[in-house]
Amino acid sequence: MIAKKQTNLINNIDHNENLTGQQKCLEFTVISDPHLVSPDSRNDIRLAEDSVAIFRETIKKIQLTNPDFIIITGDVMEAKEYGFPNLGLAFDEISKISIPWFIIMGNHDSRYRSTKDNYQKIDFVKKFESHGPIGNVASWKKDIENKRITLIGLDTSQEGTSEGFIDTQQLDWLQNQLNSISLNRFVFIFMHHPPIIFDKIVKDNKDLKMYCLNNHIQLQGLLKKYKVIKAVIFGHSHVRRYRFKDGIHYIGVPSINTWPNMFTEFSINNKSIVYKHVPISNRSIIKEAKSKLFNNNPVGLNIFNGNKDELKAYYSRGKNQRILEL
């Protein structure tokens, strides 16, 4: 029943006729890295204790704008010791959303194998089936009827590690999907790990290779062959980033759970992509998140050799709004 309702909602998105004129053809919102966990957890760099409250507030604010759909680009939950309790909590919270929604798998959703309850990656896939994942795989493709727009979700997660990778089987699947798409469509790809390196420190520091897809060069080589691909949208790093390469807009979106505590609104027409990073409303949570990130972050400071100014510059970089030509 859920799957049928979800499919009907997406197939019947028809706010405007087609990709003609300058009207808003499609509006959607991206939430990344909510890291949902039981409220009895302790706040750190990630605001574990407040994660559910932040998520609920985010959804409430998004539903006021009533986008066509929501996409959550991974790290849905914080699965540190065992998976099933947090998986259930995350599913229960996300299922309250009244707008169509789709899910991408992140490293925190797949990396931990529990000795307590034997949580595995497939458990996440099965739980969120009909909201992206189909069968035994977490990658998916959705055609938005009457819009000439196709959405593709990729799974970059691996069990047992935070590093991202897309295996040969999924790359072959992606190539087959792209080969089957009409040249008059616009394709938007969603994933968790960044498929491109934005920052020199990530390129130079071997300890930071988890901040970029391991086989990003291979993926870029495939994507640049297809003119229908207009944008690749992803999370994981919790920072705002943008780069235009090989005719594709690469857009990194921030986390709602760590500073600057933002979700991202997208508006598409036949001429442009407009996106805006929007902060949550609770200023006290934003203030706490900023303090935790810059003052209680020994790992981050270690990466930047104790230089707090460089740490702040890394997380502060990036514009909050862009208009991109298609």
Domain spans in the chain, listed from the N-terminal domain onward:
2-11+25-325
Structure confidence at residue 159 (pLDDT): 82
Q: Is it true that domain 2-11+25-325 has CATH number 3.60.21.10?
A: yes
Which residues partner with 248 through β-bridges? 245
Quote the crossing angle between the two packed helices 84-94 and 51-65, to the nearest 10°. 20
Structure confidence at residue 22 (pLDDT): 45
Inter-residue contact 72 to 102 (CB < 8 Å): yes
Structure confidence at residue 299 (pLDDT): 81
Provide the whole-model pTM. Answer: 0.90
Cis peptide before 100 (omega within 30 of 0): no
Structure confidence at residue 215 (pLDDT): 96
Phi, psi of 77 (to 5 degrees): -130, 170
Structure confidence at residue 4 (pLDDT): 42
Mean pLDDT by runs of 10 across the 326 residues of the chain is: 42 38 77 90 84 96 96 87 76 95 92 64 88 86 90 92 93 97 95 94 78 95 97 96 97 96 96 96 94 87 87 92 94
Long-range Cβ contact pairs of 114-118 (< 8 A, separation 24 or more): 114/81, 114/82, 114/83, 114/84, 116/81, 116/82, 117/82, 117/83, 117/84
Structure confidence at residue 3 (pLDDT): 42
Residues 243 and 147: their CA atoms lie apart, in Å, by 26
Q: 262-268 and 149-153: which strand pairing?
A: unpaired
Listed residue (266, 277, 250, 129) closest to 193, CA to CA: 250
Q: Exposed, middle or buried, 108 (CB in 10 Å: 0-12/13-18/19+)?
A: buried
